[in-house]
Amino acid sequence: MTIAGKEAPVPAASSARGAWRALERWSSTLLIVVLVALWEAMVLAFDIPSFLLPAPSEIAKLVVKEWSLIQMHSLATIWAVLTGYVAAVVFALFVSALMIRFPLFERLIMPIFVGLQSVPKIAIAPLILVWVGAGMGSKILVVMSIAFFPIVINTMAGFKEVDRGLYDVFHSVAATERQMLFKLRQPYAIPYIFAGLRIATTLAVLGAIVAEWLAASNGLGYLVLSGSFNFNTARSFAAIIALAIIGTAFFNLMSWLERRISWRTGINDSTAQV
């Protein structure tokens, strides 16, 4: 807009709001940059040996130097995480559908799930290695065993969180169990299911690392141990950073999928924002 042929001044309040929104959008990135700068400064100021705590610049140099090695181990971990995660999702949704259809089955099987979840997976993983053997199969089973439980719990909570009036309407028109599941329960359960899926993403990465620590010749977990055993702490930190990136990307992918699916079902979960 112009006034007497001149540009109208932009309101100061509008500029301040825009700057504040930009600061909020990049706040996490700025915090990471500040923390990395402090890390670098502290290592240089106190002359900390690299085998105790390498500087970020040293880790960056190692990543460039050993990029092909880190990439190879990252792909092995990503494959184990994705395969075990998908298996956990399919099995958890199938079991949840059975439990909501047959309440007796839920009363019988849920205490078993709770008991198994109470046992640390680091104690179960060696048994899986004995039964299946070292390799990709054991990693997938460990990932599946860790990621399975939160998906089941959240899915069952969502299936039960239905509007009582709509439930009575479906019964009054003699809706089938299939229609009850997909037309009534599933739309209400979407936010709950994705809450479980988001929790399971980080647990899936944890499961892959546990399996790689116990018996593996590849993967980022193996790379962390290799670096620590050889006092190559920079390599261990590079593998840890790669794990953090994988976990964050996986979590954000689930949040993006939730926003897409929740929009299509008319349900939105504000907690999906990261």
pLDDT tens track for 150-195: 999 999 988 888 767 777 677 777 677 777 777 777 887 888 999 9
Q: List the helix and strand counts (H, then E) for the chain.
A: 12, 2
Give the per-residue pLDDT at 217: 76
Any idea which of 75-79, 88-92, 176-180 has the lowest mean pLDDT?
Answer: 176-180
For residue 52 the two structure tokens come to: 């105790």
pLDDT of the residue at 22: 63
pLDDT tens-digit readout, 107-119: 999 888 888 888 8
Asked if pLDDT for residue 141 goes beyond 50, the answer is yes
Higher model confidence: residue 186 or residue 94?
A: 94
How does residue 19 score in pLDDT terms, banded at 50, 70 and 90? low
- Separation of alpha carbons 67 and 64, rounded Å: 5
Query: What is the Cα 111 distance to its own chain's centre?
Result: 25
- Asked if the model's pLDDT at residue 71 lies above 90, the reply is yes
**Looking at residue 271, what DSSP letter applies?**
G
- How high is the pLDDT of residue 213? 84
Q: What percent of the chain has pLDDT over 90?
A: 36
pLDDT tens readout for residues 194-230? 999 999 998 999 888 888 887 767 889 889 988 888 8
Question: Which residue, 187, 157, 161, 178, is CA-closest to 261?
Answer: 187
Please report the pLDDT score of residue 234 as a whole number.
Answer: 92
Q: Phi and psi of 6, rounded to 5°?
A: -115, 155
List C-alpha distances in Å: 136 to 76, 86, 128, 211, 229. 9, 14, 12, 9, 23
> How far, CA to CA in Å, does 5 sit from each of 1, 2, 8, 64?
9, 6, 9, 56
pLDDT band at 95 (very low <50, low <70, confident <90, very high): very high
What whole-number distance in Å separates Cα of residue 48 and Cα of residue 42?
8
Sign of CA dihedral 238, 240, 241, 242: positive
Nearest to 74 by CA among 255, 254, 238, 251: 238
d(CA 163, CA 188): 9
What token pair was written down for 238?
A: 């590079």
Mean pLDDT of 42-71: 91
Beta strands in 137-262 (DSSP E): none
Q: What is the pTM of this model?
A: 0.80
Q: What is the pLDDT of residues 224-268, one digit of tens each?
A: 988 888 888 999 999 999 999 999 999 999 888 888 876 555 444
